[in-house]
């Protein structure tokens, strides 16, 4: 089974790789950022609340994320999935563990794409001119990076410790094709 988690700071290229790999493996690509951005189009009360949080670069509440992920995983859990942007907090990782346990599933690969702050800053600014995302502004990038360091990086380290046999660090400063190739090698190996 191909159940994969992609970790990495904003701008590391995990969304790009998760999409490529999901197409290669024919499994669902669950990007929580994409799901939330779609939700913003509803323009209802929840969308307005989400917009304020996301455009400031802060994390959306665990309850909202956990319920989004559970409902999507219910559909995909038997066919394989890639989680891109989740779990980002310890509470989310606990929820995921519980969910996988209850549905007799597990994660098979964890890919952590690493990149330094200067490189990701210039990447995100480049993306902002192409995609016009509200949160790709220079002043918001620092907040998003801080959220990563203060919360998600800790979750990543925990997974690395607990699941060292399926955890793979990858250098995110490489070219897109090189990173894809490295991931393909990892998936082939085990």
CB of 11 closer than 8 Å to CB of 120: yes
Separation CA 99–CA 17 (nearest Å):
25
How many residues line the site for ligand AMP (CB under 6 A)? 17
Q: Based on the shown chain and the rule CB under 6 A, indicate whether residue 54 belongs to the binding site for ligand AMP.
A: yes
Q: Based on the shown chain and the rule CB under 6 A, indicate whether residue 13 belongs to the binding site for ligand AMP.
A: no
Helix (H) or strand (E) run with residue 43 in it: none
- The residue at minimum Cβ distance from ligand AMP is 33
Question: In the chain, how many H helices and how many E strands?
Answer: 9, 5
Site for ligand AMP in 74-133 (CB under 6 A): 85-86, 88, 92
* Residue 31: C-alpha distances to residues 60, 96, 117 (Å): 14, 15, 22
Residues 138-167 as x/- pattern, contact with ligand AMP by CB under 6 A: ------x-----------------------
C-alpha of 114 from chain center: 13
Q: Based on the shown chain and the rule CB under 6 A, indicate whether residue 6 belongs to the binding site for ligand AMP.
A: no
Query: Which residues would be at the binding site for ligand AMP (CB under 6 A)?
Result: 10, 32-33, 36, 53-54, 57-60, 65, 85-86, 88, 92, 135, 144
């Amino acid at each position: 089974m191909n159940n994969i988690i992609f970790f990495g700071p904003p701008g590391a290229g995990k969304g790009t790789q998760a999409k490529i790999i999901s197409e290669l493996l024919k499994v669902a690509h669950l990007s929580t950022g994409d799901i939330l951005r779609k939700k913003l189009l509803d323009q209802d009360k929840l969308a307005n609340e989400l917009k304020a949080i996301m455009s400031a670069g802060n994390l959306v509440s665990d309850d909202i994320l956990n319920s989004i992920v559970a409902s999507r995983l219910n559909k995909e859990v038997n066919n394989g999935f890639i989680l891109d942007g989740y779990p980002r907090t310890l509470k989310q990782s606990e929820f995921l563990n519980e969910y996988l346990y209850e549905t007799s599933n597990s994660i098979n690969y964890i890919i952590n794409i690493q990149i330094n702050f200067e490189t990701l800053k210039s990447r995100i600014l480049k993306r902002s001119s192409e995609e016009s995302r509200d949160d790709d502004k220079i002043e918001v990038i620092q907040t998003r990076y801080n959220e990563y360091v203060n919360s998600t990086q800790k979750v990543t380290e925990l997974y690395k410790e607990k699941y060292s046999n399926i955890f793979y660090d990858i250098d995110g400063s490489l070219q897109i094709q090189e990173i894809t190739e490295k991931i393909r090698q990892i998936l082939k190996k085990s």
